[in-house]
Amino acid sequence: MDIDARRRALAGALKPPVTDAAKKAAPVRVERQVAGRGGKGVSVITGLPLPPAELEALAARLKKTCGCGGTVRNGTIEIQGDHRDRLVDELTRLGWSAKRSGG
């Protein structure tokens, strides 16, 4: 990184790339929610410290892995259906320390 990129990163214009240490320190949680969805369950992934573009790319990869739809909302990834175990496996394969949470 040159000095101008560092200044922009400190000012908040750019986010520094996610390192392996940040992946291990981030508490990534995968839970199932049904509230406000008409009884339909979704798997919600929270705690990913990624910029929106990378979050969209990761969501696309996870949707392909599960074979279902989903979206990115308010910094969280929502995958349709109860795919918590599959999502935790894929996130740990990618280097994140993901845990299953909730009931």
pLDDT of residue 37: 84
The mean per-residue pLDDT over the stretch 42-46 comes to: 95
Q: At what angle do helices 52-66 and 84-93 cross, to 10 degrees?
A: 120
CA angle 43, 35, 61 (to 5 degrees): 20
Using DSSP's 3-state secondary structure scheme, residue 95 falls into: coil
Locate all alpha helices (DSSP H) within the chain, ordered by sequence: 3-11, 20-25, 52-66, 84-93
pLDDT of residue 14: 47
Bigger pLDDT: 5 vs 32: 32
Question: Regarding the domain delimited by 19-100, which CATH topology (the fold level of the hierarchy) does it fall under?
Answer: Translation Initiation Factor Eif1 (3.30.780)
Residues 6+ apart with CB under 8 A from 32: 41, 42, 43, 44, 82, 84, 102, 103
Q: Is 79:64 a contact under the CB 8 Å cutoff? A: no
- Residue ranges of the domains in the chain? 19-100
pLDDT of residue 54: 92
